[in-house]
Structure 1
Amino acid sequence: MPLSRRALLTTTGATALFTALPTNAQAHAKPRAPRNTIRQIPLQGAVNVRDLGGYRTYDGGRVRHGLAYRGDHLGKLTAADLTTLAGIGLGTVVDLRIPLEVQYDGADRLPAGTVPVARPITDNGLFGQLMAAIGSRDPVRQEEMLGGGRAAAFMSDVYRTFVTDAANRAAFAANLRDLGDPARGPVLFHCTSGKDRTGWTGYLLLTLLGVPTASARDDYLASNTIRAAYDAKVREGLKQGGLMQNPDLIVPLQEVRPEYLDTALDQVRASYGSLLRYCSVGLGLEFRDVLALRERLVLGA
């Protein structure tokens, strides 16, 4: 039910706001056709950087442009990319990668004046497993590690940790609080590919802002379209370089899939009963945190 701005300022409004979070049935509903244009930031050294603004909310508002960004790693940015990011006035960049990923791809390159925040969220060993499989150059070992649905199952395990791991929950909560803090300036949060840890953060943010579930899911799934050409080149490079005979084994690790998101939502239901309780109990978000997000990031109501 649409929430008025006045309702948000009352205790009753607090309850209404949190109960506006989707039910499990809504969360698992088939996504509708996208109604929002993805605002990708064109960069030479990163593929999946985009502005989360523009989404309509249940109560007639719209997510503000230029304040919340999501992305993949920024370790390969060019001088031109730095100029582009300087132009959008980034205040804070939150890096969700673990140290092994940073070591492999390099620390973020950021415009002058941007505050870096290292906030690693575990990938449940995914990056190390992937590097070990590729580095072995052994097609039999690679099949044993990644074939037969094992890669997709590993991804589902990663998504469960978004709910079950206390340190991960604390990191997601901190991300959301930063996004609601005007002192942070425009915030960009990212991991390596900008699709899983970043995708869950984006899904939670849009949902808490009152964006319909279908649109939040569309944003999550958009990484597949945005990353498709780049990921195909990676697979071709692995094959041409003699590292993998069957690089399609890594497709489940490169993609986001509805079942991955649903795995996290199923774990939310199993652990907390609802997304409401996951946010309030699991993440420890209070009404003032959610209100700060909406006051800062939602235009009109």
Structure 2
Amino acid sequence: MSRAARTRIRLATGAVLSALAIGCLPAATSAFAAPPTVATHRETVRQIPLQGATNVRDLGGYRTYDGEEVRYGQVYRADALGKLTDSDVAALGHLGLTKVVDFRVPVEVQYDGADRLPPGLTATSRPVTDNGLYARLLTAIGSKDPVKQEEMLGDGRAAAFMRDVYRTFVTNPENRARFAETLRDIANSDRRSPLLYHCTSGKDRTGWTSYVLLRALGVPSRTAERDYLASNAYRAAHDAKVRDGLKQSGMMQNPDLLIPLQEVRMDYLDAALERVEADYGGLDRYLTEGLALDRRTLLKLRAVLLRH
């Protein structure tokens, strides 16, 4: 087989993985009814309904311990924005975004596509390592070998891998630096400078950032956990289509092996929080020592994002 042919196969496999396994399916094949707004007790998660992304949300509306509320229209969390339609891009334009932070590593951007954004807006790349998750999926799915896929992902291995990914959010210095930069950007913005951050599925790197930000603002842990877990509701229909597509295409006999990689779970979040406790004694020191956010920056976060 020629080198050109091998390259075409590698790129084709990557494209299938991007479209089916991690990224958003192209709008023409992934259209489905947007999930209803997810109620979280007395609060509401505000979804931004788009055709080419499924997990775009306003982080506003949550209440803190002392009764303040996170402002709507200031911070947005999202999944990959490379498959947005023209109408999606226009909808993003109406949000007035002044900064978009992309946590994806280069291989994800290569196969899933650069962000499609309103004119004048360019994503800031801050890659947070996925601990080799994308490459692992590329290998497993691209093999089309059910035995190899079971060996790589079955018997709890996929879930164990995800717990390791979450631990690196805390232990990896470069990851910490990129999360910290994003929180500083928010603190140094004003109420006319909305910011959006995202990864590929909008659930792990984005979920951890959102959890830490909400806790830094004084939002109770139970509330921040509900925001984290809401990704499962928003991604459920899309992820089921992914698994069905992989089975129908013959790439996986048992696509349910992917479920631990597609979902967020409390034991993943707990893995990161246990590392926070072990390394820093709690979230306060993780913020001030692990992320090197001084008290002035933390106070500015509250001033920018909270209202009585």
- TM bucket (normalised to shorter chain) is 0.7 to 0.9
TM-score (norm 1): 0.88
Tell me by how many angstroms 1:215 deviates. Answer: 0.6
Kept after mapping to 2: 8 A contact 1:92/1:186: yes
1:34 corresponding residue in structure 2: 41
* Matching residue's letter, 1:175: T
1:223-253 per-position Cα deviation (integer Å, ceiling 9, x unaligned): 0001000000000000000000000000000
Q: Distance in 1 between matches of 2:240 and 2:66?
A: 40
Aligned to 1:96: 103
**Which residue of the partner structure matches residue 296 of structure 2?**
288
Gaps of 5+ in 2: 1-39
**Letter paired with 1:185:** S
Return the offset for 1:180. Answer: 1.4
Alignment match, 1:8:
none
Change (3 A) 1:105 1:114: same
Secondary structure in structure 2 of the residue aligned to 1:182: coil
AA of the residue aligned to 1:97? R
Partner of 2:71: 64
Give the C-alpha shift of residue 56 in structure 1. 0.7
What corresponds to 1:262 in structure 2? Answer: 270
Tell me if 1:206 matches 2:214: yes
Q: Which amino acid aligns with 1:142?
A: Q
Partner of 1:75: 82
Kindly report structure 1 stretches of 4+ aligned residues shifted beyond 4 Å. Answer: none
Q: Aligned-pair distance for 1:161?
A: 0.2
User: Highest relative contact order (Cα 8 Å, sep 6+), 1 or 2?
Assistant: 1
Q: 2:193 aligns with which of 185, 188, 195?
A: 185
Work out the CA distance in 2 between the residues paired with 1:260 and 1:174. 23
Question: What's the CA shift for 1:275?
Answer: 1.0
Determine the C-alpha separation between the residues in 2 that align with 1:107 and 1:149: 33
Matches within 5 A, 1:95-244: 95-182=102-189, 185-244=193-252
Cα distance in 2 for partners of 1:153, 1:288 equals 37
CA distance in 1, matches of 2:61, 2:99: 20
Give the Å deviation of 1:114. 2.1
- Distance in structure 2 (CA, Å) of the matches to 1:140 and 1:115: 42
Other-structure match for 2:17? none
Partner Cα distance (2:112, 2:267) in 1? 28
Gaps of 5+ in 1: 1-32
User: How far did residue 267 of structure 1 move?
Assistant: 0.5
3-state secondary structure, aligned to 1:217: helix
Q: Give the match for residue 249 of structure 1.
A: 257
Aligned length in residues: 269
Question: 1:35, CA displacement in angstroms?
Answer: 2.9
Aligned to 1:157, what secondary structure does the other structure show?
Answer: helix
Offset of residue 43 of structure 1: 0.3
1:99 maps to amino acid: P
Contact 1:43 1:77 in 2 (8 A): yes
CA–CA distance in structure 2, aligned partners of residues 205 and 34 of structure 1: 20
Question: Contact (CA 8 Å) 1:269, 1:275: kept in 2 or not?
Answer: yes
Q: Cα RMSD (Å) of the superposition?
A: 1.2
